[in-house]
Amino acid sequence: MSSVLYDVPGPKARRISLIASIAGAVLILGLVAWIVMILAQQGIFEGRRWQIFTRADVWRLLGNGLGATLSAAALAAVIAFPLGLALCLFRIADSPIIRIPVRVVLEFLRGMPVVLMMLFVLLGFGTSPFIAVVTGLVLYNAAVFAEIIRAGISSLPKGQREAGLAIGLTSYRSRMLIELPQAIRRMMPSLVAQMVVLLKDTSLGYIVAYGELLRAVQVMADFLGNAFLFPVFFVAAAIYIAINILVSRLAVWIERRGSKKAAGGTAKAEPAAVEAGAP
């Protein structure tokens, strides 16, 4: 699409574009150089500040933090997905006695900050930080998964459900055997994108004193001294971002693969998909 926005550049436009590119690159490099200079003035690049990474215990602490992050994310994802599926089925149930309360609960969960839920569980029920983090993540993400799957089901052609009912399936079996498999496949990119959000949100555990990666950084900075805050933070942030980019790439890959398979059929994911990408 982007190339439709402008004419194929001629020699003059190409030259201008090249000059603009170089100027932009110089500007960005200048900015980077300026930042590096400020950092150097602070003594960030002194060898001794980075030498801590030769110590095994630093890596062990970082590794423990990463392990805590990943285990909270994995457990939360494993619980949140089936729960979201169940909530989705209740949300679209035929009986309003089930549908309406579930809808209210979902709105409530989706409208609250995750960190508030974590604090609520932590202080309100006096649990360990790990349980607080996982519960907060499960409650929020189950609600989001429910909405994504619902959007997937409502994007299916009506005939799917009608055909299911016509061959004598009950409403529940039609949902389970006909609609859900298609809906989940259609919404796979959104679901994986939401997994990235879940993984990112484990960092909120920092606020409720869960010993995840960022907390490990803080602990090390307190322990080793402020001089080491920047190097440790830099490495931890790089780890976090690298993992998230990997999972995001996975989402893109799944999306490509999916759209190749279901010729002409994949939902050019409806609004909910965009919403799922929301932070």
CB closer to other proteins out of 124 and 265 = 124
Among 52, 119, 176, 184, which residue sits at the site for other proteins (rule: CB under 8 A)? 119
Among 36, 123, 177, 262, which residue sits at the site for other proteins (rule: CB under 8 A)? 123
Short-list 71, 96, 81, 197, CA closest to 143: 81
Among 134, 206, 216, 220, which residue sits at the site for other proteins (rule: CB under 8 A)? 206
CB closer to other proteins out of 90 and 230 = 230
Output the six-digit token pair for 164.
């299911």
User: Is the C-alpha dihedral spanning 79, 82, 88, 94 positive or negative?
Assistant: negative
Phi then psi dihedrals of residue 139, to 5 deg: -60, -50
By the rule CB under 8 A, 182 interacts with other proteins: no
- Contact assessment for residue 257 and residue 71, using Cβ atoms and an 8 Å cutoff: no
- Helices 56-91 & 129-154 angle (0-180, nearest 10): 40
What is the nearest approach in angstroms of other proteins to the Cβ of residue 167? 32
What is the nearest approach in angstroms of other proteins to the Cβ of residue 90? 19
What is the nearest approach in angstroms of other proteins to the Cβ of residue 116? 6
Burial of 247 (0-12, 13-18, 19+ CB in 10 A): middle
Binding mask 78-117 for other proteins (x = CB under 8 A): -----------------------------xx-xxxxxxx-
Among 30, 82, 101, 124, which residue sits at the site for other proteins (rule: CB under 8 A)? 124
Q: What angle do CA 63, 67, 69 make, to 5 degrees?
A: 115
Q: How many residues bind other proteins (CB under 8 A)?
A: 61
37 alpha-carbon distance from chain centroid = 34
Residue entry with tokens 């690159």: 25
Phi then psi dihedrals of residue 169, to 5 deg: -75, 150
By the rule CB under 8 A, 11 interacts with other proteins: no
Binding mask 241-270 for other proteins (x = CB under 8 A): x--xx--x----------------------
Short-list 112, 120, 132, 139, CA closest to 198: 139
Rounded CA separation 122/2 (Å): 48
Q: Which residues bind other proteins (CB under 8 A)?
A: 1-2, 4-7, 9, 13, 17, 20-25, 28, 38-39, 41-42, 44, 107-108, 110-116, 119-120, 123-124, 196, 200-204, 206-207, 214, 217, 226, 229-230, 233, 236-237, 240-241, 244-245, 248, 271, 274-275, 277-279
